[in-house]
Chain A
Amino acid sequence: MALLEVKNVKKTYITKLGGDKVQALKDVTFCVEKGEYVAIMGESGSGKTTLLNILATLDQATCGEVLLDGESLKNMKQKRLAAFRRDNLGFVFQDFNLLDIFTLEENICLPLVLQGKKLGEMKEQVRSLSYRLGIEDILKKYPYEVSGGQKQRASAARALITNPKIILADEPTGALDSKAAAKLLQLFKKIHEEGQTILMVTHSVQTASHAKRVLFIKDGSVFHQIYKGDGDFDHMYRMVFDTMTLLQTGGEEEQ
C-alpha cells in the first residue's frame, strides 16, 4: 500500500463575485510510496498549490479522495484536522511562515509544544535536528535577524521535528538565492536518504532534478511523470527541462 494515494481529486473554486467557477484541479490521480522524493512541476496557475493544500488538509477537494497511510482525509472531522496535520504532516512554505514572536528554537519547538511533549525530550530533539541542519548557532535568534536561507532551514526543522510521515513543501527555494537554494536541496537530499518521504512543488528545473520522480501538472491534471531511476543528475535535468519546454510550448498529452 502506498503512503499517499490521491484518487480522482477535483477542485472547483467558486469566486465570490459573479459566481464564476474555476476548475483548478480536474482529475488528479497518483501515489507516493514511503521514502519517495517527488517533485511537482507545472506552469503558474496549473493548480500545484491547490493540490498541495488539499494534501495538507488546509483545503478540501470538491470530489475524489486522498488517503494518507490508508486513512482518508475526507471524512475527518474539522476539529481533528489540525491535530492530524501536526502529528502526520510537515510543511515547508515558500515564505517560511516563521513566527516573529518566537526565536528560531521556539519556532522549531512549536509543534512539539502543541503535542504536549516533555521539555527534555523537546530540547534533545531540537538540539540533534538543528545540528543536522547546521543552524545550531543561530537558534536563539529571531527570524528577522537571520538570512532567508537560514529561515528556510529553520522552517524545515520545524517541519521535521515531529517525524512526520510526509514532508510537503511549496516552492521551498522560491525566495532563496541559488546558493541558499542549493544548500537547502542538499539538506532535503540528506533527509530523504535517511528515509523521509518528501513531496515538493517547484518552478525550478534545477530544484526538481534533485527529486527521484517529477510529476508534471497541466491545466489541473497530471500530464507526465519522469523517474530518475539510476540516471545521474544531469540526465534528469535534461529530461525535466525538455518536458517543461514541451509543456510551455503547449505540447499535446503524451503517455
Chain B
Amino acid sequence: MSFSEKWLLPKLAWIGIWKNKETYIPYIGAGIFSVFLYFVFLLISHNDIMYTLPRASYVMVLMLLGSWLLALILVLFLLYTNRFLMKRRAKELGLYSILGLEKKHIAILLFIETGIIYIIVLLGGVLWGVVFSKLIFLFLLNMTRIPLDVSFSFSIKALGSTLLFFAVAYGLNLIVNLFRVMRSRPGSLFQEGKKGEKETKHPILTTIGGILLLGGGYFLSLTSQLDGTIFSDFFLAIFFVILGTHFFFRAGLGYLLKALKKRETFYYKKKNYVTLAGMSYRTKKSASSLSNLCIFSTMVMITLLCTISLAFGMKDILLYRFPYDVEMSFLAEKIEDREGIIKEGERIAEQNKISVTKEIDYVYYKIKAERKGNVFLNLGEDINVWEKEGVYEIQLLTEEEFQRGAGKGAVLEKGEIFTFSDGKSIKESSLILADKNYVVKKEYETFPLIEKREKAVFSQQYFLVVKDREEIERLLQYYGQGEEILHVRMCVTGGEEEKQRFAEQMEGYIAKNEGVINRANGAEQRLEILSMNGGLIFLGIFLGIAFLIFLLIIMYYKQITEGYDDRENFMIMEKVGMTDEDVRGTIKRQVQLVFYLPLFLAFCHTAIALPMILALFGAISLFQEKLVFLCGLGSMGFFFILYVAAYHKTAKVYYKIVKHS
C-alpha cells in the first residue's frame, strides 16, 4: 500500500461519518449518554468513601447488582441503535464495494469508523461524568442518610472499567456489522437500502418460542413466593420476558401485518395503506423498535412503581421490623428484680427528659415444633433443622404473663388456649399439643409491640397462651426444650437521636446484669434499614431516569431514522396527490399501531409482574399490597401521560422531517 492508499480508508471513514451526520449525531449522542451513565455509576461505587462509610455495604451490594443490570441494558441499547445505523450505511458501503473496495477494506473501514466513534463517545461521556458525578453522589448520600461531610474522588479504576466495557460493547457492534458485510454480496449490500426486509425464517417456531417464553415469565411471576429461589426466579423471569417480547413482536407483527393486508377492504383505506405497507417493508426493524419500546416502558413503570412503593412503605417497614426502641432478653432465673429493669428504664428516660410510652415485659418458654394441620409434633432428632417446612418457633406464655402485656381480657380455663401468630394466622378452633386437645378460645390479631403481617413468611413465630405453669411444664416435657426467658421491650418519646441515646444508656445498664441473652437497639437498626432502602430508592431513581431516557432516545431515534427513510416516499406520494391532511392521518395511524401496541403489552407485563414484586417486597418486609397496587396504578397512569406526550413530540419531529423537502 502506498502512503495515499494508507490514508484513504481513514479518510473514507471520516467522510462516512461526516456525510451521514443526521444519523450519526443521535447515534453518538446515545453513546455519550451510555458512557456517562455507566461511568458515573462506577465512579460512585468505586469511591473510596464507600468502603469506609458505616452501613455503606448494603448500598455497595446494590450498586454492584445495579451495574450489572445497567451493563446488560446498555449492550442491548447500543445494539439497537447500531442496527439503524447500518441499515442506512449499507448503501454507501455497497457503492464502495462496487467501486472496487474489497471486503477486507470495508472491514478495515468499519473498524476505523468504530474506533473514531468509540473515542468521541468516551471523551464526551467521561467529560460529562466528571462534571456531574459529584452532584449525583451527593444526591445518593442524601437519599441514604449517610453523613454528607465527605469529599468525592475521581477513580482511575472506574475509568478503566468504563473504557473496557465500552470497548467490548462497541466491539460487539463491530462484529455484528462485519458479520453482515462478510455474509452479503456487494450488489445486495447496495440494494439493502431499497429492498424490503426478509421475513422471519421460522415464523411458527418464533411465535411458539415467544409465547412459551412470555408464558414462562408470566408463570414464574404469578406463582412466585417468597422463598430461596425468588431472586433467581426474578432474573429468569426478566430474561424470559425480554426474549419473549422480542420473539413475540418479531413473529407476531409479521402475522398481524400479513393478516391485516389480506383484509383488503381494511388495507386499501387511505389511513391504513401507507402505514401497513411501510411497516411490513421493514418488519424486523419495526419489531425491534416495538419490543424495545415495550421492554423499556415496562422497566420504567416497574422501577417507578418499586421506588414510590418503597418510599411510601418505608414507615411501615420500620414499624414492622422495629416497633420498639429497646429490646432485651434475659434468662429469667438470673433476674431477681424484674420491676427494677423497668424502673431503671423510666429513670434513664427521665434523665434524658423523655418518657417511656410503651413497655411490655413477659416471661416465656421457647420451643420448636412441627405443625401438621392442628397437631404440633415433637421434632425429635430434627431439633436443629430450620429449613423444614412446617417447623415453627413457639413462645409459650402463661395467662398471667400474657395479661401483663396484653392487659386483662378473657379468662382461660384449663384446656383452653389463646393463640397469636406474627405472620400467617393459625386459624384453628383447637390445637393438639403434646397429644392433648386444647380449645382455642381466641386467636389474637394484634399483640403489644409485636407487629403482625399476614404475608410475612420469614421469622414466623407462634405465641401460645395456656392457663398456668403446670400446663407449660407438661408441654415442655413433651417437646423437650425451652428455657425460661424474660423479654422486655420499650418505646420512648423524642426524636431518633434521643431514642438512640436512651437505647445506649439502657444497654450500658443491662450489660451489668448477668443472664443477658440478647439486646437490640431499634434506633440503630432503623438507621440501617433506612440506609439500605435509601440505597434502593437512589438506585430506583437513577435507573428509572436512565430507562426513561433510553426510552425517549429509542422513540426519538426511531422517528428520525424512519423519517429520513420515509421522506422520499412521502415526497413521491405528495406528487401523486397525497394531501397534507393524508400525511397527518397516516402518521397518526402509525402512532396508534407503533406506539400503543407496545404500551399495551408493557401494561400487561407490569400488571403480571405485581405478584413477583410483592413477593420481593416481602424480602424487605414491605407487605402493603394495597399500597403497591395503588403505586402500580399511579405509575401506569403517570407513565401513560408521559409516553403519549413524548410520542406526540417525536411525531412532530417526524412530520417535520418528512415534510421538509
- On A, residues with C-beta under 8 Å from B are 56, 58, 79, 82-83, 85-87, 91, 93, 97-102, 106, 109-111, 113-116, 119, 122, 142-144, 158, 162
Contacts and interface: CB of A to CB of B under 8 A. Distances in A.
A140 to B, nearest CB: 12
Contacts of A106: 273, 277
A79 B580 CA distance: 7
Given A82-B579, A86-B578, A113-B270, 6 more contacts: A85-B576, A86-B576, A98-B572, A99-B572, A109-B268, A114-B270
Interface stretch (B191-199, B467-475, B540-548, B641-649): B191-199
B569 interface: yes
Contact of B578 (A79, A82, A87, A143): A82
26 contacts: A58-B575, A79-B580, A79-B581, A82-B577, A82-B578, A82-B582, A87-B577, A98-B572, A99-B573, A100-B281, A101-B278, A101-B569, A106-B273, A106-B277, A109-B268, A110-B573, A110-B576, A113-B269, A113-B270, A114-B270, A114-B573, A114-B576, A115-B577, A119-B265, A144-B195, A158-B576
Contacts of A119: 264-265, 268
B574 interface: yes
Contacts of B580: 79, 82
A85 B582 CA distance: 14
A116 B572 CA distance: 18
User: Which of B270, B280, B281, B572: most chain A CB closer than 10 A?
Assistant: B572
B194 A144 contact: yes
A144 B268 CA distance: 22
Interface in B237-280: 264-265, 268-270, 273-274, 277-278, 280
A118 to B, nearest CB: 9
B578 A99 contact: no
A144 B191 CA distance: 9
B269 A111 contact: no
Given A101-B277, A101-B281, A142-B196, A85 B577 contact: yes
A113 B577 contact: no
Nearest to A145: B195
B587 to A, nearest CB: 15
A85 B574 CA distance: 9
Given A82-B579, A109-B268, A97 B273 contact: no
A99 B194 CA distance: 10
Nearest to A123: B264
Interface string B405-425: 000000000000000000000
A87 B576 CA distance: 10
Interface in B329-382: none
User: Which of A86, A99, A142: most chain B CB closer than 10 A?
Assistant: A99
Contacts of A110: 273, 573, 576
Contacts of A87: 577
A182 to B, nearest CB: 26
User: Which of B265, B270, B576, B580: most chain A CB closer than 10 A?
Assistant: B576
Interface of B: 191, 194-196, 264-265, 268-270, 273-274, 277-278, 280-281, 569, 572-582
Contacts of B269: 113
Given A113-B268, A114-B270, A82 B574 contact: yes
A28 to B, nearest CB: 22
User: Which of A97, A100, A102, A119: most chain B CB closer than 10 A?
Assistant: A100
Contacts of A114: 270, 573, 576-579, 582
A173 B368 CA distance: 96
User: Which of A91, A102, A106, A110: most chain B CB closer than 10 A?
Assistant: A110
A79 B578 CA distance: 10
Contact of A85 (B270, B278, B575): B575
Contacts of B281: 100-101
Contact of B577 (A99, A109, A111, A122): A111
B576 A113 contact: no
User: Which of B268, B277, B280, B582: most chain A CB closer than 10 A?
Assistant: B268
Contacts of B277: 99, 101-102, 106
A164 B277 CA distance: 25
B575 A83 contact: no
A90 to B, nearest CB: 9
B569 A99 contact: yes
B574 A116 contact: no
A82 B251 CA distance: 37
Given A113-B273, A144-B191, A144-B194, A97 B572 contact: yes
A230 B268 CA distance: 46
B583 to A, nearest CB: 9
A138 B489 CA distance: 88
A101 B196 CA distance: 7
B270 A116 contact: yes
Contacts of A113: 268-270, 273
A122 B268 contact: yes
Contacts of A142: 195-196
A143 B193 CA distance: 13
A91 B268 contact: no
Given A113-B273, A116-B270, A144-B194, A97 B575 contact: yes
A113 B195 CA distance: 23
Nearest to A97: B572
A144 B91 CA distance: 14
Contacts of A109: 268
Nearest to B574: A82
A119 B262 CA distance: 13
A111 B576 contact: yes
B197 to A, nearest CB: 11
User: Which of A101, A144, A162: most chain B CB closer than 10 A?
Assistant: A101
Contacts of A101: 196, 274, 277-278, 280-281, 569
Contacts of A98: 572
Contacts of A122: 268
B643 to A, nearest CB: 27
A83 B583 CA distance: 12
A102 B581 CA distance: 21
A101 B279 CA distance: 9
B589 to A, nearest CB: 13
A102 B267 CA distance: 12
Nearest to B275: A101
Contacts of B273: 106, 110, 113
Given A82-B579, A111-B577, A100 B196 contact: yes
A158 B574 CA distance: 14
Nearest to A116: B270
Nearest to A81: B579
Contacts of A143: 194
A179 B146 CA distance: 83
Nearest 6 interchain pairs by C-beta: A86-B577, A101-B281, A82-B579, A101-B277, A97-B572, A85-B577
Contacts of B579: 79, 82-83, 86, 114
A83 to B, nearest CB: 5
A87 B654 CA distance: 27
Nearest to A109: B268
A158 B575 CA distance: 12
A123 B273 CA distance: 15
A141 to B, nearest CB: 12
B188 to A, nearest CB: 11
A116 B577 CA distance: 12
A170 to B, nearest CB: 11
B191 to A, nearest CB: 6
A60 to B, nearest CB: 15
A175 B574 CA distance: 22
A98 B269 CA distance: 19
Contacts of B278: 101
Contacts of B196: 100-101, 142
B369 to A, nearest CB: 73
A153 B318 CA distance: 78
Nearest to B281: A101
